[in-house]
Structure 1
Amino acid sequence: MKVSRLYLAFVFFVLYMPIFYLIYYSFNSGGTMHHFESFTLDWYKEVFADTRLLIIVLHTIIIALLSSSLATIIGVLGAIAIYYAKHRWKQTLLTLNNVLIVSPDVIIGASFLILFTIAGIQLGFTSVLLSHIAFSIPIVVLMVLPKLQEMSPTLIDAARDLGANEWNVLTKVVLPYITPGIFAGFFMALTYSFDDFAVTFFVTGNGFSTLSVEIYSRARQGISLSVNALSTLLFLFTLFLVVVYYIMTQRASVKGGKK
């Protein structure tokens, strides 16, 4: 038991120590990541004074919200379709969905680049949005499908016996029951879209960029603690999404327990 806890602590240390190291030096007035001179917020002021960067942040938020919302709608419908499909088709569709989850981002990004080039779609906002919707849908399906599988068929049978049509069954029985899965899928898709680099790098065009691509471009130009500050803000925003999702799931479980 102690060995497993030590191993878990070591894993978390390896994962989080570089992030805390980056955050720590984002407050360094020295301009390097080798020696901490004194505390300063100048790098954060530089980030917020950069108009181009603020526009990129706006682009990233818009892409994340739009793609996660549309992917949630499509993913919920897809999960319901898989749930009601025949056993043979269900396994096939679920396998195809899982293949997209485990496929390398580089292959997905290159595939989208070839597709958009053949289709004549100009690389930019539209190509990034379509790509983010596509790789977010399987995530939503995986979040929603377990909730559908937990749902007792007697709930639907009871609703039909009481005179509910298919639309009422969907909107008043199925969707309320799988709401925690829908929120989980939405926030997972939002986080993936906000943080994605590999796919976005392939399908973004001149004049349009997202935070992940911008951070990579700035890091290649040399060490600047403004990159640390920007990365810190991105990490805190992602952490905020996780906390919001946790609070919402806790409230949903409490309400479910009361019922």
Structure 2
Amino acid sequence: MENKRNRWSNLYLVLVFVVLYAPIFYLMYYSFNSGGTMHKFEGFTLEYYREVFQDTRLIIIVINTLVIALLSSAIATVIAVIGALAIQRVRSRRAKNTLLSLNNVLIVSPDVIIGASFLILFTIAGVKLGFSSVLLSHIAFSVPIAVLMILPHLEEMSPSLADAARDLGASSTDVLTKVILPVIRPGIFSGFFMALTYSLDDFAVTFFVTGNGYSTLSVEIYSRARQGVSLSINALSTLIFLFTVLLVAVYYVLTTKKAKQSPAEPAADAGVPR
């Protein structure tokens, strides 16, 4: 009975992955089609990949997207650490739940409403639409995501760690940098990468707050797709997907290697000044 249940579970998992990845592989397959369409494969070509690398404007947009994603994720993660520490120190359950609810507003709100709200805010405040407006909006919607990744690690941390550090003469800065931050480091990295993913993927909010002469990859792909099917979009999407797979593979190898070389130390000894 158990084996039968496992077989059905494995089959269901395979079907889920097929549904998720089949469109991506379909897109990748036709990025090599010399026929210029996604209906009939006529021959192998790298023409559309050459178009991507020869398109200076597109390369600049890719760089803009990476700069916005990395910068907004880093700033949002720092703010999220501060916010998570503040929420964790609130003793009143009602106040803490209120803060968490306010933190989650940007996550559950529709992207169109968030984008329109940012557009109105920047217009009233006189902020010129472009790099600054996109960066500020990406920071704003990335902070709640990072907080949700960091806060559980703070909640799981034993209060005795900080108390022991203070008893040993550690200052508040030492407690933060040598005890708390090392313990919640996995949450910080998770928050950063989640914020990075959301920033790279975002279209709706970015569409509202980009100005003339400045664009990100998601907005550019949307604009090109409206003009008609172009297999250069397939080629660009394939390169981005392969780059993402490479990053995930490198991250997995590094974390696995680190876990094998550095067995976990007792939690009570982590970061306590000596």
Secondary structure at the aligned position of 2:87 is classed as helix
**Map of 1:174 onto structure 2:** 180
Choose the corresponding residue for 2:117, options 107, 111, 122.
111
Do the aligned partners of residues 143 and 46 (structure 1) sit closer, same or farther apart at CA in structure 2, a change above 3 Å counting? Answer: same
1:41-60 aligned within 5 A? 41-60=46-65
Mean alpha-carbon deviation: is it higher for 96-105 or for 150-159?
A: 96-105
1:14-93 aligned within 5 A? 14-86=19-91, 87-93=93-99
State the one-letter code of the partner of 2:43.
S
Is 1:257 matched up with 2:269?
no
Unmatched runs of 5 consecutive residues or more in structure 1 = none
Do the aligned partners of residues 78 and 250 (structure 1) sit closer, same or farther apart at CA in structure 2, a change above 3 Å counting? Answer: farther
Runs of 4+ in 1 over 6 A off after TM superposition: none
**Partner Cα separation in structure 1 for residue 255 and residue 109 of structure 2:** 29
Do the aligned partners of residues 181 and 56 (structure 1) sit closer, same or farther apart at CA in structure 2, a change above 3 Å counting? Answer: same
Do the aligned partners of residues 208 and 33 (structure 1) sit closer, same or farther apart at CA in structure 2, a change above 3 Å counting? Answer: same
1:1-259 aligned within 5 A? 1=5, 2-86=7-91, 87-247=93-253, 249-250=255-256, 255=262, 257-259=264-266
**Could you tell me how far 1:31 is from its partner in structure 2?**
0.8
Do the aligned partners of residues 53 and 246 (structure 1) sit closer, same or farther apart at CA in structure 2, a change above 3 Å counting? Answer: same
Contact 1:180–1:249, Cα closer than 8 Å, also in 2: no
**Could you tell me how far 1:194 is from its partner in structure 2?**
1.2
Q: Which has the larger radius of gyration?
A: 2
**Partner Cα separation in structure 1 for residue 12 and residue 157 of structure 2:** 37
**Could you tell me how far 1:251 is from its partner in structure 2?**
5.3
Normalising by structure 1, we get a TM-score of: 0.94
Which whole-Å deviations, capped at 9, do the CAs of 1:73-105 have from their partners, x for residues lacking one? 001111111111122221111111122212211
**Could you tell me how far 1:239 is from its partner in structure 2?**
2.9
Mean alpha-carbon deviation: is it higher for 236-245 or for 188-197?
A: 236-245
Normalising by structure 2, we get a TM-score of: 0.89
Contact 1:191–1:241, Cα closer than 8 Å, also in 2: no
**Could you tell me how far 1:230 is from its partner in structure 2?**
1.0
**Partner Cα separation in structure 1 for residue 172 and residue 258 of structure 2:** 25
Indicate the percent of aligned positions where both proteins have the same amino acid.
72
Do the aligned partners of residues 91 and 4 (structure 1) sit closer, same or farther apart at CA in structure 2, a change above 3 Å counting? Answer: same
Unmatched runs of 5 consecutive residues or more in structure 2 = 267-274
